């Protein structure tokens, strides 16, 4: 099974903190020694990562479409051996719809864009390159990071869960569409994990009593990536996956095959 150890050059979008930064470090330490490019908005964090031997590119995934195209084109032209992209950039906002006046619609739009629309846009822009790489026999990987909350929604972060459910659904369809291309989709589904994601909500101190330590999460995620699993659900996300998602991708595959038979 093609897996992440086959990668020669990996881009981690959103790697100045948390899960993205930890995965980038583990990927860089693989015996296959891939080149690892990291992105984020915070230049001082990128400077620290450059000192550790990472390639760095400053980028805001909330840029407009032209900005995202420019970002993708510049990465592909600077790193023509790029074969894998992890999409870790993500944000989370709480919304209380019992107090509709408190719902910040700008935050909601940012969340939808960062967690879903920008990722699908970047995938669209990266695909011509990744399909070309895969056509040479080099496996290519697209690795969206969704969440256990894509499966079982957390009502305190209702729109975050909807963005992750959308990305999860899209990942299943994308994987089906790309099945014969050599571009593989691996969806990483974390549980609640130690990171900076909840800092702005003031919740990190209390969540730190229950979240999965980052090292433990990263080790488990790397095991799935090294096996080449299509889904890498971890901890509580694995429990939700087992209970509610079993057979879903297979059913989607069946529906796609039937549709092809009917429409030719």
Ligand X SMILES: NC(=O)c1ccc[n+]([C@@H]2O[C@H](COP(=O)([O-])OP(=O)(O)OC[C@H]3O[C@@H](n4cnc5c(N)ncnc54)[C@H](OP(=O)(O)O)[C@@H]3O)[C@@H](O)[C@H]2O)c1
Rg, C-alpha atoms of the chain: 18
Q: Which residue has the tokens 């969206």?
A: 144
List CB contacts of 31: < 8 A, sequence separation 6 or more.
5
**Quick one: 6 or 55, whose CB is closer to ligand X?**
55
Catalytic one of 116, 125, 160, 170: 160
Residue whose entry in the numeric block shows the structure tokens 């999860």: 168
Measured from the CB atom, the residue of 140 and 149 that comes closer to ligand X is 149
Closest distance of CB 43 from ligand X, Å: 9
Residue closer to ligand X by CB (options 44, 250) is: 44
CA angle 165, 214, 25 (to 5 degrees): 100
How would you class 157 by CB atoms within 10 Å of its CB: exposed for 0-12, middle for 13-18, buried for 19 or more? buried
Q: How far is the CB of 4 from ligand X (least distance, A)?
A: 17
Is 116 known to be catalytic?
Answer: no
User: In the complex with ligand X, which residue's Cβ is closer, 20 or 139?
Assistant: 20
User: Got the DSSP string for 103-167?
Assistant: --HHHHHHHHIIIIIHHHHHHHHHHHHHHHHHHTT--EEEEEB--GGGTS--TTSHHHHHHHHHH
Q: How far is the CB of 228 from ligand X (least distance, A)?
A: 20
User: CB-wise, 172 or 193, nearer to ligand X?
Assistant: 193
**Interface with ligand X by CB under 6 A: which residues?**
14-20, 40-42, 45, 59-62, 88-91, 114, 145, 147, 190, 192-193, 195-197
CB of 101 to ligand X, least distance (A): 26
Of 22, 183, 158, 171, give the one whose Cα is nearest residue 88.
22
Please give the Cα distance from 154 to 227 (Å, whole number). Answer: 30
* Chain-centroid distance, C-alpha 238: 16
Q: Which residues are catalytic?
A: 160
């Amino acid at each position: 099974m093609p897996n992440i150890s086959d990668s020669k050059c990996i881009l981690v979008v959103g790697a100045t903190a948390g899960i993205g930064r930890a995965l980038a470090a583990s990927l860089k330490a693989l015996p296959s020694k891939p080149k690892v490019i990291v992105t984020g908005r915070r230049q001082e964090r990128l400077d620290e990562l450059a000192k550790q031997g990472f390639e760095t590119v400053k980028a805001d995934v909330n840029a407009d479409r032209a900005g995202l195209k420019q970002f993708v084109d510049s990465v592909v032209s600077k790193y023509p051996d790029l074969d894998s992209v992890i999409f870790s950039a993500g944000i989370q906002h709480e919304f209380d719809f019992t107090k509709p006046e408190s719902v910040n619609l700008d935050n909601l739009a940012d969340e939808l864009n960062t967690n879903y629309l920008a990722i699908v846009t970047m995938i669209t822009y990266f695909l011509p390159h990744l399909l070309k790489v895969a056509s040479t026999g080099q496996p290519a990987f697209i690795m969206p990071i969704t969440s256990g909350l894509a499966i079982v929604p957390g009502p305190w972060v209702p729109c975050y869960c909807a963005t992750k459910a959308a990305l999860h659904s899209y990942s299943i369809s994308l994987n089906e569409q790309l099945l014969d291309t050599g571009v593989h989709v691996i969806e990483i589904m974390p549980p609640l994990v130690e990171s900076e994601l909840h800092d702005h909500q003031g919740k990190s101190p209390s969540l730190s009593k229950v979240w999965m330590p980052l090292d433990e999460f990263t080790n488990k995620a790397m095991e799935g990536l090294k096996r080449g699993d299509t889904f890498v659900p971890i901890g509580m996300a694995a429990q939700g996956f087992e209970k509610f998602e079993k057979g879903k991708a297979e059913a989607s595959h069946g529906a796609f095959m039937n549709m092809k038979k009917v429409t030719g």
